Structure 1
């Protein structure tokens, strides 16, 4: 190869020397002709290899079942490789063409070498991008932070490329460069702090399966409430439900607390946990007449019948004086209302009866006694879930008055008789 190149570019120098133009003029004329010849040869090599590589890759992409080669075509990998081949040819030709120009040989040789390193890194980048797109199309890897791993690999390759470029410019060995880099590693760590933290965080997030692409997360610190659309080395992008985008530092996923709703989405139901406040002074015992009236409510009719029989038997066995209602055992309007709500929930079609279903009383507050509904809807979709919850509480608010209970709310002007 070397001898062939010498024959191609050596004839002009000997030709002008025979014509007795002088040593210097012959060298310059020969250089001019050789640069033109080199340009035409390099461009011809580029056209040939671009045609061969691109066409070959397109044909392979059409005939093979895998999508990886299609992604190589879309990322123009073959085109960039076609640029690399004439560059290598130029790199080999520069020492021969500029043999009589040592100073310029060194400069152009270094420039071409640097361009080869940068182009090689760019080709590697396109291959990794094709690999990333290929893995994302695979359901097994679609929720993995592939971007983070590729970014880390590319950072390492760019660092090595930087060492090679600097070693070529200053004619020093790569080993010496690595030693110098070790000495200034503290500064490098300071500069790339977020990148290093992001890399560590992305690895931990992946290994611990803390968050995946497609997960619904809530991160109050950053105002994020939506689906994860991208996990990078430095950031996690969340598309909120109002169609805005929130960018979260990756290391915040392990340093701060956030809520991942994946477990709920993968479960058999979505939790409903909401309460109303009942005025404490509206809670009281029920007399016989009121119980007879409440028996008309079908969901608690059998319960009242069965429960009252037990209470009457107890009071009779213990000779309880029922002239005062508080004596012995009694039913309250609040307790009966809780039983009614429990029966109503057990028959409601939108709830998962295999999960917890509870109507409970919470710790009393200055605003009243909380009555909490704790159950799970069988439809986890946002709009349907909200409809089910609203429908249940519509019924609860409307049924309170049938048990002579009152819901607490802040007084308005009408309550004070003012307009």
Structure 2
């Protein structure tokens, strides 16, 4: 039974004038209720929210973005019309109890969904505020907030189901106890991702801004986002790869953060030498090598050391084969190390080493091991400059680079054949 309607005299006269049409007065009251809800929505959004936004802007300052917080408040303001309609349905005459219950249920569904979306926007605003902290990249909370969002939306969905079914939310939650196994199966990826997110944020194995390399997922670039289910990597070719969060726990990957924090990136590359070009220094080669300023003290010390040794050895075994002599390869190895130690773009406080590796079918490897700038472009420039110089200076030491195949030999044979044919023709 409807509650008595308290109306003004002019509304009473309007009601009497509409008595010939039974549905006219309930329709008029319903339209008035809709108009009041629209007016409440207009006042809330156009006046209250704008005033609140101006106050927040003045308090926050121009350097802070207030868009996300206001999105949450604006979403929450959408509750006002549904609250007005749900409260005013009791004043609409002629509506059945079932219809009133249905309309109130629809308003409740709208209110619950709107509050859930507002809470979701509030979490986004909180995450954006948290990411302004200097240590936010080391301890991201986006994954936890996404779990909280899932919980909020699940509760909102259960509340909507309870409302539409006409039962209490507690009864719905009690009935879900029997469906726990099914829910575990449905949300197994989410649960695994949550555990992985906790491990990742706990031990700091991956942070936003890290350069990671994961060939199994075709990822090689910077981490730009860490979420609950995925970690987003922007590759060096500007493509984007999304990696399931649990893969960073179960699969292997390489994190280059240690290299970046150390301040030096390793150069490790070999020059493959032709073993047939390795020999002792003869007079011509020795006179040419003695012109290198980087080898002055080394050659002076070696000359004194070898002179004393050979003088003592000559008293017992005067044969030349028993004497110690410098080789062009050993001298070149010393030259390369001293060249690296005098290079302005090589990190001198880190390992600098030149070592001879085991011979292979590709030649004799002389490996360069040192550290340069971590900036990619500077690193590649430094590495190229070093090997440009070493390849160009090799002939000064009587050494040759080994190459498996080249057309230079065939071109030389062709030229020799042409010259021989010309001589025979003459």
TM-score normalised to structure 1 length: 0.87
**Corresponding position of 2:157:** 162
Question: What corresponds to 2:378 in structure 1?
Answer: 384
Distance 1:225 1:235 in 2: 15
What is the CA distance between 1:287 and its match in structure 2? 4.4
What does 1:196-235 correspond to in 2, within 5 Å? 196-235=191-230
Q: Distance in 2 between matches of 1:146 and 1:33?
A: 52
Q: For residues 79-98 of structure 1, what are the structure 2 equivalents within 5 Å?
A: 79-95=74-90, 97=92
- How many pairs were matched up? 411
For residues 91-240 of structure 1, what are the structure 2 equivalents within 5 Å?
Answer: 91-95=86-90, 97=92, 101-142=96-137, 144-240=139-235
1:7-406 alignment, distance < 5 Å: 7=5, 28-65=23-60, 71=66, 75-95=70-90, 97=92, 101-142=96-137, 144-287=139-282, 290-318=285-313, 319=315, 321=317, 323-325=319-321, 327-377=322-372, 379-406=373-400
Q: Does structure 1 retain, via aligned residues, the 8 Å contact 2:280–2:328?
A: yes
Asked if structure 1 preserves the Cα contact closer than 8 Å seen for 2:212 and 2:253, the reply is yes
Maintained 8 Å contact 1:61/1:70: no
Q: Distance in 2 between matches of 1:68 and 1:202?
A: 31
Q: 1:29 to 1:341 in 2, by over 3 A?
A: same
Confirm or deny: 8 A CA contact 1:269 1:376 kept in the other structure: yes
How far apart in 1 are the matches of 2:94 and 2:282? 116
After TM superposition, give the deviation of residue 46 of structure 1 in Å.
1.7
Stretches of structure 1 that go unaligned for 5 or more consecutive residues are none
Contact 2:190-2:229 within 8 A present in 1 as well: yes
- Distance in 2, Cα, partners of 1:95 & 1:68: 48
Deviation at 1:302, TM superposition (A): 2.4
What is the rounded CA distance, in whole Å, between the counterparts of 1:69 and 1:171 in structure 2? 45
| SS at 2:135 equivalent | coil
| Structure-1 separation of matches of 2:404 and 2:273 | 12
Distance in 2 of aligned mates of 1:11 and 1:342: 105
1:196 Cα deviation (Å)? Answer: 2.4
Q: CA deviation at 1:8?
A: 5.2
The answer on whether the counterparts of 2:394 and 2:400 sit within 8 Å (CA) in structure 1 is: yes
Report the CA distance between 1:292 and its aligned residue. Answer: 4.0
Aligned-partner SS, 2:234: strand
Question: Are 1:53 and 1:78, in contact at CA under 8 Å, matched by a contact in 2?
Answer: no
Cα 1:415–1:162, aligned 2, differ >3 Å: closer, same or farther?
A: same
Partner-residue secondary structure (3-state), 2:78: helix
Contact in 2 for aligned 1:235/1:249 (Cα 8 Å):
yes
CA distance in 1, matches of 2:227, 2:370: 37
Q: Is the contact made by 1:13 and 1:30 (CA closer than 8 Å) also made in structure 2?
A: no
Deviates more, 1:140-149 or 1:393-402: 140-149
- Cα deviation for residue 370 of structure 1 reads 1.4
TM-score by length of 2: 0.86
Q: Is the 8 A contact 2:41 2:77 kept in 1?
A: yes
Change (3 A) 1:389 1:9: farther
CA–CA separation in structure 2 for the residues paired with 1:268 and 1:277: 29
Shift of the alpha carbon at 1:348?
A: 0.9
Match of 1:284, SS state, is coil
Shift of 1:64: 0.8
Asked if structure 2 preserves the Cα contact closer than 8 Å seen for 1:144 and 1:213, the reply is no
Unaligned runs of 5+ in 2: 415-426
SS of 1:188's partner is: helix
1:60-105 CA-partner distances (Å, limit 9, x unpaired): 2132136899525674333333321231222233355378512212
Aligned-pair distance for 1:391? 0.5
Please name the residue that 1:411 is paired with.
Answer: 405
Q: Which moved more, 1:401-410 or 1:87-96?
A: 87-96
Secondary structure of the residue that 2:60 maps to in structure 1? coil
Number of the residue aligned with 2:418: none
Q: Which moved more, 1:65-74 or 1:399-408?
A: 65-74
